[in-house]
Structure 1
């Protein structure tokens, strides 16, 4: 028989908080609080079965049935001392550590006390959040993670010798919990004074993640990572200071949509096989810059380069992938160059009269190396059902479908676009596979409106195949589209016959 102490925060302010539990074939048993501590009421129960189910009630109202038992816990069989667990109102998770109490301030209030470098994008879609790794004006880095079901969050990296929650207590860095989106305690923030650009890091999340042998602890790559690092199997993130690059494109004006002559290219595909390029520039951003200097694009008469995806993929970019199996929405593909190299390419393009748009794949992620999978569980059962958690909902032909119908997931991808606009000076985006089969159109419309407000004149292209009318709310509304009808008619004319629609 094991003694289990159950702590409850009683955030719903039950007048008479009662724990109702059942172990094995036992009858449902109501238990009054044994006492109260700083977290809230706690209960002591003697468990004979391997697992028990339980819930909390405001008094014993009628006869609760098994469907009311919202939580379950299996005490360690070797436990010699009482086992403690913690629960929160409206949250089905059972924690084996005491959840951190939220700060009294809202995240936006705290963030307004900090000074950021001019030119750095501070995530603000859905409200100022400060997520990711953001360099500060004087020194240090702000680290932020969105996680609505975590009990504790830590950050470890080069700045603290990679000490996680079980490391040297003097070096452990724990994030504070703030109210964020939806005015709930879901935003974790801290400033690390010793951190700097180039430092590699990872978050460590306790609770709200897969059980992992009973620890419910997971090392998490930053969803807002600007670039991935080289340590931790190459799955950590690295701090980037976008202000280190000195831009020379003052006065640049993005061409009007009606004036665009577009050249779509793969950075690797265009440059990897060019014999007159040095090997160090083949397949990289710097190789495209050399073509600009040689007048290659000027001779073609184009004024916009549409880059195929340049965010990180798990396989080698170019020989094995065209970039349509992304890992994260903000990371620069290391096979193509560095964030500084990308900035230099955009800067050079503007100097040669060329606009730049990026192909963004938001409808799915790679299944081979899915860094967002189950990093935020919304319910404990998602682990057993092998569901992806917060960021995923279903599948596409290419990978797990992102849950773009959720506002908090939308915020991540909208923040990504704003970051590319502000920190890389790109002129716009082409969005891959925006059909409602793969992407929520409420998100596409919100995305367009926010980006047009953030950067008037931004170029937006939707691969809306087949052409669904709901993206043409007012006829031409600033979102250009790939047109099936035009494509099919042109191919039929060129072939002097019928073009077979691949969607048929």
Structure 2
């Protein structure tokens, strides 16, 4: 058995002498430790260690002891490094000894990045129960589908009973609405036992708006000169930034070491402001690579609207120096415009030439590599990415953002017809880039996924108003009366209506979609994964076959090529030459026969492989 614990310079740690409590509170002159138990409590002064640190070791404090900190004889706050806060973000923290959990997966070393097929899920809506334990019951389903990695939306303790997770304020504590820390570890261990990697979405760009007490006693956590859409930026480069950086570096290592996670997805890093070198993203990656990354496969993924290719560079051997990949919004946006015709918001950047953007994203990664973005006021966006491999870009048709940030949370199955959607799904699932599915998309789940939260009354009213006003610039919602029909994110029904409807899984329409995804992912595992090492960066070619169709070819170093033909329009395209090689897949049964006669059928995708050497056993 394996027992894991990440040691860190703050929080509560069970030692041979007792439990050591440590807090960084540079704005406080006195800190007292409150120990709370059934029928009794005690208040103990903590020693000032200098530079804002306070500490106390208590021999009697055991795992399960509840505690808080009193600041200068007044406000009581939870531990910002709490491992568990069962009574929500305003309540006491609980002493946890992580070594009490016995891991039986000590032989697990993870899986290579090239094998990644990612399934993004929100724990609260993935199952009717919305818990770690209930999610474990779905692992066999995911394995049978062809998934190799779970990507779990943030679990850091957030205010209330329901939240997407991006409003977390206690980044070391799994939210109690999902279960205990040991429940989360049991889910991860069960996933490993079935060959599944587990990634966690983490938020290092802001704290949520309710329950963040750091503003009171540790103001240096927040920058005096950088700002984000949520207010003051996290202080990664100003005075006292070393302590702040260490807090987040330890958080990343904590999840990877103590919970044996296989990777992290860092949310919206373009809103992290850091002028130091190495910046926090570089330092975090270096610490991970030299730490748990030396012993097993650890994968780091970015969401970065800035398209900063420098974080994705490879060594000569093709190994990621810092981050394995970035979510490729460009690919999604171009495909979404082609499927739906929508041009509001950021889709305006792709509306004029969506096919050209799609072709560039498929062959080079980013569609925007320094070109001006009309949506961003003409500012240049992105860096050259042509020399990066396809594995540096996560491809997807749907995510929590792209579904949940719609006013009504509609999925693509509600926005387009089956044939166009099948063409797009076949394109994404067999492209060289690692694909990501958003929970339920594989069976065309009929329930929406909406934005939801559970704040206190005053904040809730502001969130409801603000959510509806976000859409004022969209033509469809220009009328205030129409905006009033947008679901209230604070209403319990908005959350409940977002839960996956598993009861439809065996209905013919939904079963057919699941089989379609399963068959494509089986083809990916058999044919695409083995040849990824033969695809060299910068050599892919794309040709537009009219306004809505294109051909993309990835030459293979061993000879031959992988070729995509995709018609993402309603018109037949003629004069198309059949690529060399074997037909791997067609999104429609009539597509391959039509191509033999030089016709590319409407709304279809075909894949061909011409290989000079075997690519599978």
Smaller-chain TM-score bracket: 0.5 to 0.7
Determine the C-alpha separation between the residues in 2 that align with 1:220 and 1:315: 17
Q: How does 1:58-97 map to 2 (within 5 A)?
A: none
Partner of 2:235: 403
Is 1:329 aligned to 2:171, yes or no?
yes
CA displacement at 1:265 relative to structure 2: 0.5
Determine the C-alpha separation between the residues in 2 that align with 1:501 and 1:350: 41
Determine the C-alpha separation between the residues in 1 that align with 2:274 and 2:120: 26
Q: If the length of structure 2 is used for normalisation, what is the TM-score?
A: 0.50
CA displacement at 1:410 relative to structure 2: 1.2
Determine the C-alpha separation between the residues in 2 that align with 1:439 and 1:248: 40
Partner of 2:25: 147
Partner of 1:305: 150
2:178 aligns to what SS in structure 1?
coil
Tell me, yes or no, if the aligned pair for 1:374 and 1:390 is still in contact at 8 Å: no
Partner of 1:353: 195
Is 1:366 aligned to 2:208, yes or no?
yes
Q: 1:191 aligns with which of 51, 54, 57?
A: 57
1:145 aligns to what SS in structure 2?
strand
Q: How does 1:2-151 map to 2 (within 5 A)?
A: 119-123=4-8, 129=9, 131-136=10-15, 138=16, 140-151=18-29
Partner of 1:289: 136
Determine the C-alpha separation between the residues in 2 that align with 1:428 and 1:399: 28
Q: 1:491 aligns with which of 336, 339, 350?
A: 336
Superimposed CA distance per residue, residues 61-111 of structure 1 (whole angstroms, 9 cap, x where no aligned partner): xxxxxxxxxxxxxxxxxxxxxxxxxxxxxxxxxxxxxxxxxxxxxxxxxxx
Is 1:420 aligned to 2:255, yes or no?
yes
CA displacement at 1:236 relative to structure 2: 1.6
Q: 1:477 aligns with which of 321, 325, 328?
A: 321
Tell me, yes or no, if the aligned pair for 2:136 and 2:187 is still in contact at 8 Å: yes
Partner of 2:305: 465
Partner of 1:170: none
Tell me, yes or no, if the aligned pair for 2:3 and 2:101 is still in contact at 8 Å: no
Tell me, yes or no, if the aligned pair for 1:285 and 1:337 is still in contact at 8 Å: yes
CA displacement at 1:425 relative to structure 2: 1.0
CA displacement at 1:255 relative to structure 2: 1.2
Determine the C-alpha separation between the residues in 1 that align with 2:3 and 2:108: 19
Tell me, yes or no, if the aligned pair for 1:266 and 1:308 is still in contact at 8 Å: yes
Determine the C-alpha separation between the residues in 2 that align with 1:390 and 1:478: 25
1:451 aligns to what SS in structure 2?
helix
Q: 1:176 aligns with which of 47, 52, 72?
A: 47
Determine the C-alpha separation between the residues in 2 that align with 1:303 and 1:402: 34
Tell me, yes or no, if the aligned pair for 1:367 and 1:400 is still in contact at 8 Å: no
CA displacement at 1:192 relative to structure 2: 0.3
Determine the C-alpha separation between the residues in 2 that align with 1:286 and 1:139: 34
Determine the C-alpha separation between the residues in 1 that align with 2:7 and 2:76: 24
Partner of 1:218: 75
Is 1:500 aligned to 2:348, yes or no?
yes
Tell me, yes or no, if the aligned pair for 1:155 and 1:204 is still in contact at 8 Å: yes
CA displacement at 1:264 relative to structure 2: 0.5
Tell me, yes or no, if the aligned pair for 2:28 and 2:217 is still in contact at 8 Å: no
Superimposed CA distance per residue, residues 160-199 of structure 1 (whole angstroms, 9 cap, x where no aligned partner): 94333xxxxxxxx2222335xxxxx333222100001111
CA displacement at 1:327 relative to structure 2: 1.2
More helix by share: 2
CA displacement at 1:219 relative to structure 2: 2.1
Tell me, yes or no, if the aligned pair for 2:222 and 2:232 is still in contact at 8 Å: no
Change (3 A) 1:501 1:287: farther
Partner of 1:33: none
Tell me, yes or no, if the aligned pair for 1:325 and 1:398 is still in contact at 8 Å: no
CA displacement at 1:322 relative to structure 2: 1.0
Determine the C-alpha separation between the residues in 2 that align with 1:360 and 1:299: 28
Tell me, yes or no, if the aligned pair for 2:19 and 2:59 is still in contact at 8 Å: yes
Q: How does 1:201-240 map to 2 (within 5 A)?
A: 201-206=67-72, 217-230=74-87, 234-240=90-96
Is 1:265 aligned to 2:121, yes or no?
yes
Partner of 1:450: 287
Determine the C-alpha separation between the residues in 2 that align with 1:148 and 1:365: 19
Tell me, yes or no, if the aligned pair for 1:355 and 1:426 is still in contact at 8 Å: yes
Determine the C-alpha separation between the residues in 2 that align with 1:335 and 1:353: 27
**RMSD over equivalenced CA pairs, Å:** 2.7
2:173 aligns to what SS in structure 1?
coil
Tell me, yes or no, if the aligned pair for 1:119 and 1:422 is still in contact at 8 Å: yes
Structure 1: 5+ residue runs without aligned partners?
A: 1-116, 124-128, 165-172, 180-184, 207-214, 273-281, 378-388
1:450 aligns to what SS in structure 2?
helix
